[in-house]
Copies of this chain bind each other. A is one copy, B any other.
Amino acid sequence: MSEHQDILHALQSVLEERKNSDPDESYVAALYAGGADKILKKIGEEAAEVILAGKSDDDEHLVYEIADLWFHSLVLLASRDLSAQPVLAELARRFGVSGLEEKATRSKQN
């Protein structure tokens, strides 16, 4: 369970570190250096790839393409000094779910 959350945190750390990397040696640093348009163009490309993967039966391929789409979303957020946290908070708000409440519920069940 905690693995997921930790992955997002670990990724965030990597994305922050890359702000000091050489664009010639780091793909993420090259995206930052390319500016918003470069990152946004990638989001358009990856969305098209998700749509195409969504038309095939290959689950692994779909997961791979969604990972690409989410990854570039995280780069976009990081480029503006944002993280996945407010995105997940917005999702929680919409669906009336709360990590803390859910956790409490599960604790009672166990």
Residue positions of A touching B, CB distance < 8 A:
1-11, 13-14, 36-37, 39-41, 43-52, 54-55, 59, 62-64, 66-67, 69-71, 73, 76-77, 80, 82, 84-92, 94-95, 97-103, 106
Contact = CB atoms under 8 A, between A and B. Distances in A.
A12 B34 CA distance: 35
Contacts of A102: 6-7, 9-10, 13
A50 B95 CA distance: 20
A10 to B, nearest CB: 4
Given A11-B95, A44-B47, A95-B14, A87 B63 contact: yes
Contact of A82 (B59, B71, B77): B59
